[in-house]
Amino acid sequence: MEQAVQVKELRPPITHIGVIGWVKTNLFNGVFNSILTVATLFFLWKVVPPLLRWAVIDSAWHTTGEACRQAAGACWSVISMNYRFILFGFYPYEQQWRPLLAMLILFGLLFYSRDRSHWKKPLAYAWIIGLFTMGLLMTGGIFGLSSVESTQWGGLPLTLLLAVFGLTAAYPLGVILALGRRSRMPGVKILCILYIELIRGVPLISLLFMSSIIFPLFLPEGVTFNKILRAQAAIILFTAAYIAEVVRGGLQGMARGQYEAAESMGLNYYLTMRLVILPQALKIVIPPTVSILISAFKDTSLVVIIALFDLLKTTQSVLSNPEWMGFSREAYVFIAILYFLGCFSMSNYSRKLEKELSRGD
Amino acid sequence: MIKVRGFKNSAVSEKVPFWLDPKKRAILFQIMTFCMVGLLAYYLTSNTLLNLKKQNIATGFSFLHKESSFEIGESLIPYSAANTYARALLVGALNTIKVAFIGIVITIILGTIIGVARLSTNWIVSKLAAIYIEVMQDLPVLLQLFFWYAIFYETLPPPREAISPTAGLFMSNRGVAFAVPEGHPAHLYMFLAFAAGCGIVYLMRRWARKRQEKTGQIFPVFFVSIGILVGFPLLTWLVFGAPLEMNVPKLGGFNFEGGLTVSPEFIALLLGLVLYTAAFVAEVVRAGIQSVSKGQREAAMAIGLRPAPVLNLVILPQALRVIVPPLTSQMLNLTKNSSLAVAIGYPDFVSVANTTINQTGQSIEGVAIIMAVYLFFSLSTSVFMNRYNKRVALVER
Amino acid sequence: MNIEKKANEGQMIEFIDVHKWFGEFHVLQGINLSVDKQERIVICGPSGSGKSTLIRCINRLEEHQRGRIVVDGIELTNNIKNIEKIRAEVGMVFQHFNLFPHLTIVQNLSLGPIWVRKVPKKEAEETAMYYLDKVHIAEQARKYPGQLSGGQQQRVAIARSLCMNPKVMLFDEPTSALDPEMIKEVLDVMIELAREGMTMIVVTHEMGFARSVAHRVLFMDFGKIVEGNRPEEFFKNPQHERTRLFLSQILH
């Protein structure tokens, strides 16, 4: 039996589609949601205009500290007049193109690495050369570049250095620890478990204290360790433990069949790991690894406590200058934007990557 | 019977050189590793002892009994510069527990609200929650601490011109002072009434459950419990003549006297920690709720369950299993992050330990104490977490 | 089938010119259907034809935007009381079983009676054991869903719906997620159910089941019921080209 009458081309009811439909389902479906929408809109109306007035309309953009205090709104001059120091710290003024160039190289490499189809051997070489070049640019001493002591490094390049180098060095260490933790040799396993649990159980600040105060005691007299290096060591040791846990998760997630297939092919432990297990396991855990990178980037700010001049400390130095005292809000908002841009692009990338990986390409 | 000569005999007759035998290789490898680690430890230790001697720094923990000779800004127990370092450290530890405990409670509440808001069908609310989560997660917690501390110092006026949004509440750059109820005998009885109410609620829940099992009737336990827990103390209060006297902070000299004052350091630390960690908790809650498949809700609705029982009986038990483990790790992170108090001058454990180290020079013992205390918290939380996971694990084949 | 039809008292389920849209997508285009008490209907059709949506509208897991749906004399509107009454009378078995993994089998079954029909626990558990026995799975009563096979879980799901004493049972592709060797045990339970006179609407591709048990087989495509007939007629003489094409694809 069939429908005797042809159904005309009917349109869905007007309250269900288009703008009205969207507003109804998303903002006003039900009493509770409607009240919520109205309350939220009221709240926004009360808060946003005064905020805009303070930040944009009444603000002073490029004046002296005195003029800034007269302005009713935000004093963005604390940034515009001091940005060289905030961004580069004590690096010699005329040579600041060098850390700038180093950062551009880093951003370029990062940008190029975003596309997974570029992940081949040449890219690895490009990274190694790139990192080496960055180090050269910063230290100088050859190729006609004047030498700049690492004690003068600061600001954004220092933050990036601590984070990027920290993760790069921590990664192999973390992988070794993860393998060690899964080892069947009790001695190695216990050592790795002790290390991982100890480091993960304590706050980073205690490791930074340890590195800045105690490491010098470990060394024979006369041998000194550059302060940045000490902080870098602490960050590496800290990050490695977290990477170890993440990689361990990846290793555990690998099907037993992979191990067995490699074994039956006659591959020894080293080859099994290098050719079969690690490539797969590491790929699975890329998203949590990126999130560790984001944490490392944020955690570099802690070096302010041991008086290293990263981005946070340079900002605070500017604020301790009598001319610019009292404008902490504006200054912190500025570096908040910098940190946010960095972390947001990384977490966005990680989300995109997760989607790609779960689709299986 | 045929005796089969075979593999067993041949394996024994061949002697495998020890460097090819996997078991012996493993042992050799471990011995080598231990030797290396041991040598490194020996090298570091001997250097350290030498350096300590040269700089005339003492070793051992006897410094704990010495007089500390420094003051601590705020303390839950009586303390002065004449007390020992050990007592100072105790004060620091209590301060850490104070901020961690209050912080954890507020964070769980706030994080849950934001996490649920993120899943709301209301577009504005859900987007605002998403923005909050993304922004707060992407800013370093230390930056947030400095920001809130700066707000207190630079934006708020001195006590003379304190902002008073409501009567009895004063916000200034010396902290927040608010009125507290004046001590009154009624308070003790109100507390007793509340405790009695708790007992009654507990008994009532047991009775209601037995009744439901027997007769099937459902008792409105939730609403009655709230009524009792609020009503009992309220009734007691009324019986005592509804005493309303408040200890109101009054401006005396340079600061407020009376009432309860909370330091800017404490509030900045609390705000920074709570707002930061709540973003992560919101994500954990959201993931937990979303982990329960849509079909579970549909099956529960198809049987005819109303929304509240669907949530309580089907969704929440499953969601909580997914939420609790990462939630405890966030709580641990909050506790560890409270160590950043040293940067804004709140006298938490690390702060006090840092001062101790600076004064006595015994950095190794100091840092070791710090690590030991935090390790204790982390490991005991791990143990509880493992027990919880084992208990609630979904049974599978 | 008549288009203009008043709701009839003897009908179990009545669809009168029902339309539904997902946004702009017209998923149900003027459904007219009437199901008598104790009638058994099989709905088949290509994926996306709207057959799942149709039965999900019956217990309000989906909302229709036009037309009327009447279940056992109660009209389906936004009235919550009506919806809950209807849901207690209509049982649903899902493609992916949807058993509650944190509860034992018995607890899964007694949840509805205890909390919706307010039955004492002992009685609810007795009912549960009765139906578990009926689907031949009583020995697994104290186990958890995670410990059972797919076929066993689906039989438990059927028993769970039966514990609410429904007047109608809806089946949304009940065997599609099962390994081949487990399909028979579930179909056998459904056939027994049919023999006891339960009103059933089944969305499935199992044509053998349709042939042996259905009163009517309906073919749906692009949101419309293209044709419907007694099984013998339906399979031997499909009247429409689309029906013929579909049957040729699944009966090979």
* pLDDT tens digits for range B119-178: 988 888 999 999 999 999 999 999 999 999 988 888 888 888 888 887 778 888 888 888
Q: CB-based burial of residue A300 (10 Å sphere; 0-12 exposed, 13-18 middle, 19+ buried)?
A: buried
Going by pLDDT thresholds of 50, 70 and 90, the confidence category of residue A241 is very high
C21 phi, psi to nearest 5 deg: -120, 140
**Other C-beta atoms lying within 10 Å of the C-beta of residue C169:** 22
CB contact under 8 A, B314 and C144: no
Cα–Cα distances in angstroms (integers) from residue A44 to residues A33, A48, A171, B110, B123, in the given order: 16, 6, 44, 19, 14
| Of A223 and B227, more confident | B227
Residue B18 reports pLDDT greater than 90 = no
Q: How far apart are CA C75 and CA C13, in angstroms?
A: 10
Q: Output the six-digit token pair for A222.
A: 């006369």
Residue B235 reports pLDDT greater than 90 = no
Residue C4 reports pLDDT greater than 50 = no
Cα–Cα distances in angstroms (integers) from residue B350 to residues A196, B346, B356, B369, in the given order: 22, 10, 10, 10
Q: Tell me what pLDDT residue A360 has.
A: 61
Q: Tell me what pLDDT residue C214 has.
A: 93
Percent of chain C's residues with pLDDT above 90 = 75
Cα–Cα distances in angstroms (integers) from residue A275 to residues A269, A271, A281, B230, in the given order: 10, 6, 11, 65
CB contact under 8 A, A7 and C29: yes
Stretch among A12-16, A229-233, B261-265, B311-315 having the lowest mean pLDDT: A12-16
DSSP H or E segment with residue A78: helix A77-80
Q: Tell me what pLDDT residue B2 has.
A: 54
Residue B7 reports pLDDT greater than 50 = no
- Of A45-59, A106-120, A281-295, C194-208, the range with the highest mean pLDDT is C194-208
Q: Tell me what pLDDT residue A205 has.
A: 92
Backbone angle region of C173, left / alpha / beta, with phi > 0 → left and psi within -120 to 50 → alpha: left
Going by pLDDT thresholds of 50, 70 and 90, the confidence category of residue C138 is very high
Q: Of C102, C153, C107, C106, whose CA–CA distance to B391 is shortest?
A: C102
The beta-carbon neighbor of B29 closest among A185, A203, A347 is A185
The beta-carbon neighbor of A332 closest among B29, B143, B337 is B143
Interface confidence, given as ipTM, is: 0.86
**Other C-beta atoms lying within 10 Å of the C-beta of residue B275:** 19
Percent of chain B's residues with pLDDT above 70 = 95
Q: Of A299, A211, A212, A197, whose CA–CA distance to B375 is shortest?
A: A197
* pLDDT tens digits for range A104-114: 988 888 888 88
* pLDDT tens digits for range B90-102: 999 999 999 999 9
CB A74 within 8 A of CB A55: yes
* pLDDT tens digits for range C101-125: 999 999 999 999 999 999 999 999 9
DSSP H or E segment with residue C224: strand C224-229
Residue B10 reports pLDDT greater than 60 = no
C92 phi, psi to nearest 5 deg: -130, 135
Contact partners, residue C245, CB within 8 Å, separation at least 6: none
Distance between start and end Cα atoms, chain B: 44
Residue A98 reports pLDDT greater than 90 = no
CB C185 within 8 A of CB C149: no
Going by pLDDT thresholds of 50, 70 and 90, the confidence category of residue A135 is confident
Residue C90 reports pLDDT greater than 90 = yes
CA angle B279, B284, B289 (to 5 degrees): 125
Q: How far apart are CA C217 and CA C215, in angstroms?
A: 7
Beta bridge partners of C224: C221
> Mean pLDDT, to the nearest integer, of B100-107?
94
CB C164 within 8 A of CB C86: no
CB A343 within 8 A of CB A297: yes
Q: How far apart are CA C138 and CA B259, in angstroms?
A: 67
Residue A24 reports pLDDT greater than 80 = no
> Mean pLDDT, to the nearest integer, of C224-230?
92
Q: Which residue of B has its CA nearest to C61?
A: B298
> Mean pLDDT, to the nearest integer, of C73-93?
90
Cα–Cα distances in angstroms (integers) from residue A307 to residues A67, A154, A302, B203, B337, in the given order: 31, 11, 9, 58, 18
DSSP H helices in A147-305:
155-181, 186-201, 204-209, 215-218, 227-253, 256-264, 269-271, 278-284, 286-299
Interface of A with C (CB under 8 A): 1-5, 7, 10, 12-13, 16-17
Q: How far apart are CA A326 and CA A312, in angstroms?
A: 16
Q: Which residue of A has its CA nearest to C27?
A: A12
Distance from CA of C173 to the nearest CA of B (A): 14
Beta bridge partners of B176: B171, B262
- In 3-state terms, what secondary structure has residue C93? strand
Residue A32 reports pLDDT greater than 80 = yes
Parallel, antiparallel or unpaired: strands C40-44 and C199-203? parallel
C-alpha Rg value of chain B to the nearest Å:
30
Residue B348 reports pLDDT greater than 70 = yes
Parallel, antiparallel or unpaired: strands C216-221 and C40-44? parallel
| Of B1 and B146, more confident | B146
Q: How far apart are CA B300 and CA B315, in angstroms?
A: 9
B178 phi, psi to nearest 5 deg: -135, 160
Percent of chain A's residues with pLDDT above 90 = 18
> For residue A204, which residues of chain B lie inside 8 Å, CB to CB?
336
Q: How far apart are CA A116 and CA B174, in angstroms?
A: 54
Tokens 């190729």 map to which residue?
A: A143
Q: How far apart are CA C100 and CA B295, in angstroms?
A: 10
Q: How far apart are CA B83 and CA B319, in angstroms?
A: 49
> Mean pLDDT, to the nearest integer, of B328-357?
92
Contact partners, residue A331, CB within 8 Å, separation at least 6: A78, A79, A86, A315, A318, A319, A324
Give just the sign of the alpha carbon dihedral B14, B18, B19, B25: positive
CB contact under 8 A, C3 and A10: no
Chains that touch A (3 or more CB pairs under 8 A): B, C
Interface test with chain A among C25, C41, C65, C237, by most A beta carbons within 10 Å: C65
Going by pLDDT thresholds of 50, 70 and 90, the confidence category of residue B393 is confident
> Mean pLDDT, to the nearest integer, of C234-244?
90
* pLDDT tens digits for range A304-320: 888 888 888 899 888 88
CB contact under 8 A, A17 and C21: yes
CB contact under 8 A, A1 and C30: no
Going by pLDDT thresholds of 50, 70 and 90, the confidence category of residue A273 is confident
Is the Cβ of C63 closer than 8 Å to some Cβ of chain B? no
Q: How far apart are CA A91 and CA A93, in angstroms?
A: 6
Residue C3 reports pLDDT greater than 80 = no
DSSP H or E segment with residue A100: helix A97-113
C-alpha Rg value of chain C to the nearest Å:
18
Angle of helix B22-54 versus helix A186-201 axis, rounded to 10: 40
HSE-up of B219 (CA within 13 Å, CB side)?
A: 16
Q: What is the mean pLDDT of chain A?
A: 84
The beta-carbon neighbor of A4 closest among C3, C66, C226 is C3
CB contact under 8 A, A2 and C227: yes
B23 phi, psi to nearest 5 deg: -65, -45
Interface of C with A (CB under 8 A): 1, 3, 19, 21, 23-24, 26, 29-30, 32, 65-66, 224-229, 239-240
Q: Which residue of C has its CA nearest to B213?
A: C121
* pLDDT tens digits for range B168-222: 788 888 888 888 877 777 788 888 889 999 999 999 999 999 999 888 888 888 8
| Of A10 and B86, more confident | B86
Q: Tell me what pLDDT residue B191 has.
A: 87
Contact partners, residue B335, CB within 8 Å, separation at least 6: B96, B100, B104, B374, B377
